[in-house]
Amino acid sequence: MKNLDSVFAAYIVGWGVFFVFYLTIAKRTSNLRAELERLKNSLPRGK
């Protein structure tokens, strides 16, 4: 089982990059959704 640690490291770090990237998109989306709601509420009704 030579180099098993390297293979695991490659897969874990790789998946980690995708996971963190997805988290940044989800976080930005959540912040924008809140901002969008705030802006909609600040407009007069009927707009």
With binding defined as CB under 8 A, does residue 22 bind another protein? yes
- Residue choice 23, 36, 45, 46 for contact with another protein (CB under 8 A): 36
What distance in Å separates the CA atoms of residue 25 and residue 9, rounded to the nearest whole number? 24
CA atoms within 13 A on the CB side of 15: 5
With binding defined as CB under 8 A, does residue 23 bind another protein? no
What distance in Å separates the CA atoms of residue 38 and residue 32, rounded to the nearest whole number? 10
Where along the sequence are the contacts to another protein (CB under 8 A)? 1-4, 6-7, 9-11, 13-15, 17-18, 21-22, 25-26, 28-29, 32-33, 35-36, 39-40, 42-44, 47
